[in-house]
Amino acid sequence: MSEAQRIQELRALKIIAESLNQANDLQSMLSGVLEELLRVTGLQTGWIYLIDEKGSYTLTAAFNLPEALIKDNKKPMCQGGCWCLDQYKDGRLKRASNIIECKRLEDAVKYDTGDTGDITHHATVPLRAGEEKFGLLNVASPKKTHFSDSELALLESVAFQIGTALKRIRLAENEQHLLVLAERNRLARDLHDSVNQLLFSLMLTARGTKELTDNPQIKEMLTYMQELSQEALSEMRALIWQLRPEGLENGLVSALMNYGKVLGMEIDCEVKGVIDLPTHIEECLWRIGQEAFNNCKKHAGIREAMLRIVVEKKQVIFEIEDRGAGFSVHESKEIPSLGLRSMKERSEALGGCLSVWSELGQGTKVRIEMPVKREENR
């Protein structure tokens, strides 16, 4: 490598590093970095996949893809598997790989779906920071079947910078999440100290005023005010619990049992296995349990429910069941209500699945199966 080329690469690394450190919008950041990398290396095309813990991938950035790969809004790039993804998922891809034949381009040639621009192979580099993996950086050019050691070293340097930036963004998102939780806790304290106390005072005032009159109409109105105040007080207490999961530090089971008491419900509990769940899974199940208990109170027509938790090595099974009114839906059908959809979305966000069984007059059962990785459960 000539001195001029080396200087150009160092300048490119500097520009890329500055872009990664300043940007907060993930897609525009990766698109800009990819374009700058291709400019300095003289390569024609490239794309970046971000890959989650379940192995699902997203095409987050792409530049100058050949015709065969951009058809139908880049559909060939966004579905199916390929060899670089397979190697990434099974742990074989640890460093920059010199050349990998592109299955997507081979399929394009095989099924004559468009011009491939004479691109048949690509280099692929894992995006990582330490032991954490985030996705893949792929680059290619027409008729290029070999990458030099210096080219691979540059690709690895850029991939490491991208991985570090992705980790920074995730840490910033976690910090923002903690700030949101702190604000929710503050709001819960304010509600408890102000509105909650006012409702309690209103209820006591209505009850006391009834003793000062013999007028039956006034007594009836005051009784109605007292009942409304009591109901509002119960709703406010439940809202405060939703904002701030008091007791969750004592464990998921304890928190849910106490929440059931707040709602005026009797909860039977059955636990199998050691309850030692990661914080994010514990909070997710806490929110799902809240919604399930609220549904039971509002719609089941009874105040009893059953909570079952089974913790195994690789998953937790979480069930809430009642013997109340039920409704006409089976787990094979579409989730019917906003509350149930919210529970479904919460569970799927952490790789879990939700099923609902219900029959009119026979009650309802909500079941969540959620994976727990060994390293999470330490």
Q: In the chain, where are the structural domains located?
A: 3-172, 251-378
Phi and psi of 140, rounded to 5°? Answer: -160, 165
User: What's the pLDDT score for residue 45?
Assistant: 93
Distance from C-alpha of 236 to C-alpha of 249, rounded to nearest angstrom: 22
Upper half-sphere CA count for residue 249 (Cβ side, 13 Å): 2
Distance from C-alpha of 31 to C-alpha of 36, rounded to nearest angstrom: 9
User: What's the pLDDT score for residue 378?
Assistant: 41
User: What's the pLDDT score for residue 194?
Assistant: 67
Class of the domain covering 251-378: alpha beta
User: What's the pLDDT score for residue 191?
Assistant: 65
Is 3.40.50.920 the CATH number for 3-172? Answer: no
Write out the chain's pLDDT in tens, 378 residues.
566 666 666 666 676 766 666 656 778 888 888 888 888 788 899 999 999 877 889 999 999 999 989 888 888 898 888 888 888 888 888 787 766 778 888 888 888 888 888 888 888 999 988 888 899 999 999 988 888 888 888 888 888 888 888 888 877 777 776 676 666 666 666 666 667 677 778 888 888 888 888 888 888 888 888 888 877 777 776 666 566 555 566 678 888 888 888 888 888 888 887 767 787 888 888 888 888 888 888 777 788 889 999 988 788 999 999 888 877 654 434 445 556 777 888 888 888 888 888 888 788 888 999 988 644 444
Nearest partner of 344 among 297, 287, 274, judged by Cα: 287
Q: Count CB atoms within 10 A of the CB of residue 172.
A: 11
At which residue do the structure tokens 């950035």 appear? 61
Distance from C-alpha of 350 to C-alpha of 168, rounded to nearest angstrom: 21
Q: Residues 13-22: pLDDT tens digits?
A: 676 766 666 6
User: What's the pLDDT score for residue 178?
Assistant: 65
Q: Residues 257-295: pLDDT tens digits?
A: 888 888 888 888 888 877 677 878 888 888 888 888 888
Q: Is the pTM of this model over 0.75?
A: no
User: What's the pLDDT score for residue 332?
Assistant: 39
